[in-house]
Amino acid sequence: MTSPARTCWDLACWLDLVEAVVVIDAMLARRLTTVPALREYALSRAGRRGWRSLLRAVDLADAGAESPQESRTRVGLVLAGLPRPQTQWVVAEQGKFVARLDLAWPQFKVAVEYDGLWHDGPEQIHRDRRRLNRLLGGDWIVLHVTAKRLRDDFDGLLAEVRAALRARSRQLGPR
């Protein structure tokens, strides 16, 4: 049995970067460890095999990720050069809850939603579409990704997110 920090070290050594972040995200979300604790653990072992790998994974980690696919999507977008999105961003309208977005760039009103298997029931689709309509009415661009899209067409998703962020940065200008 190892400590959470040592487990994250091992993961960073043996898994590819994205998969190490997926597990570290889950450990952070469950409050088994913290980013500062992992950073300190890595730095205290500077020079040993794996310390840089752990630091890189920790820098990409986010306790807000609610699924492995959200983590994979976020990390893929960041590694491709996009600005880091906010996780689980809450959108409110006149003080009333509208939505909680998986990944968001609130300054541009651009979001990426991961649609997993729980989105296939008629009642859930109804709620999701009503929420989407309210977001669109609030001038949000919401892009959707599925497991198939993440696996087979990540470049297409990346191009769409880049285009949305570029268009919004021109529209909204510096904030």
| pLDDT tens digits along 118-160 | 556 666 665 666 766 667 666 899 999 999 999 999 999 999 9
Residue 94's pLDDT is 87
Give the CATH number for residue 148: 3.40.960.10
Mean pLDDT of 54-68: 96
pLDDT at 58 exceeding the cut of 90? yes
Query: What is residue 57's predicted lDDT score, i.e. its pLDDT?
Result: 97
The answer to whether residues 83 and 14 belong to one domain is no
Domain count for the chain, please give it. Answer: 2
Whole-model pTM? 0.87
Joined tokens for residue 27? 């450990």
Residue 69 belongs to some domain of the structure: no
Return d(Cα 3, Cα 129) in angstroms, integer.
43
Cα separation values, 167 from 136, 139, 141, 149, 160, Å: 16, 13, 10, 22, 10
Q: Which domain range does residue 31 map to?
A: 4-63
Does residue 99 have a pLDDT over 60?
yes
Check whether residue 59 and residue 16 sit in a common domain: yes
Q: Which of 47, 82, 81, 59 shows the shortest CA–CA distance to 12?
A: 59
